[in-house]
Amino acid sequence: MSDPHILLSGQSLALGMPRQDMLPEYHRWENDARTILGYGNQWAQSWEVRAAGYERQRGNDRYQQFEVVRLEDQASVGMTVLQVNTFDRTAEFVIVLAPEERGKGHAAEATRLTLDWAFHLAALRMVWLKVMEPNRAGIAAYAKAGFRQSGRLRKSGFWLGQPVDELLMDVLPEDFPGPSAVTAALGN
């Protein structure tokens, strides 16, 4: 495996460039039953579909991916994505963590680092996400990173086979909880 290319460092995590040689790991994380449940999917994705999708995503400047790297050992622990709408300068946020890395506080820091990039480098006006209402751990991590509930899609998702509401959450630059790793890295 290649070494991670770190773009932005936080306290215990960093954002790096996605690595093609990590694609099998990303695929494993995305096909974990808890990931499928959290995304509201019903099916695993084949390797062929995932590999082809990676190639398309790499050339799409509206689909900004970051590998989440643990600083202490340079291990990859997750991915975050900003699906950017360039016309209105907003983005949808998505995160996936390695199954063995969940419950360790990584979600909040990885989310905060991605928002730091989104607001202080990409100059986005707003970032939003959808989360299944029963996903209390996700909701808490997003709130800790600055997201606020902004709406509800009634019975639009499934959780353990039952229809559930999806919550819409958003965050504006002024909601960013700081401190900014971007401004610290730039010496401002």
128 exposed, middle or buried (CB, 10 Å; 0-12, 13-18, 19+)? middle
Catalytic residue among 39, 54, 63, 142: 142
Check if 39 is active-site. no
Residues carrying an active site annotation: 142
